[in-house]
Amino acid sequence: MNPRRVLFATTALLALTGVGCSSAPRRPPPSQMQLADSAVGRADETRVGDYAAPELRDAHDKLNAARELDKSAQVNKDGTAALHAKWLAEEAGADADLAAAKAQLSRSQEIDIELQKEIDRLDPSSAPAVSPGIPPAAAPDPAPDAATTPAPSQP
């Protein structure tokens, strides 16, 4: 076989294969509503509400409002309402993420306190002067020492 024909046939085959792969249907990216729903669901599953109830409640409220607004936008073919629904869903996801972060912080602080208690129990000399997370109180100035205090000047 002629080497030019082999090269042409190989190139044509590769080109057709590339076209076939690039025209394969792609999965559409998840909508903002799906992302928010997923974030709120994860927060619910991990019991974030035990530590950050107000933020999680806000996330649920915004997600429900976004769903209602989205339904209304689809029925009325209202692009502005659809955009507002998307924004609300985005806020719901952010609120759920905030609640999860606050819950993680609270859990970490609880673990830190428990570990410090265990350290103090095992080695009392390592106990901090102040409890973790509580700023030290301002210490009062010591009474002035008579030897270091200058005597009042006489006129």
Segment among 22-36, 46-60, 109-123, 128-142 with least mean pLDDT: 128-142
| pLDDT, position 139 | 47
Q: How sure is the predictor about 148, in pLDDT bands with cuts at 50, 70 and 90?
A: low
Q: Does domain 30-124 have CATH number 1.20.1270?
A: yes
Q: Write out pLDDT tens, residues 32-91.
A: 899 999 999 999 998 898 999 999 999 999 999 999 999 998 899 988 998 999 999 999
**Quick one: which of 87, 43, 39, 42 has its CA closest to 65?**
87
Residue 92: how many CB atoms within 10 A of its CB? 27
Residue 86: how many CB atoms within 10 A of its CB? 18
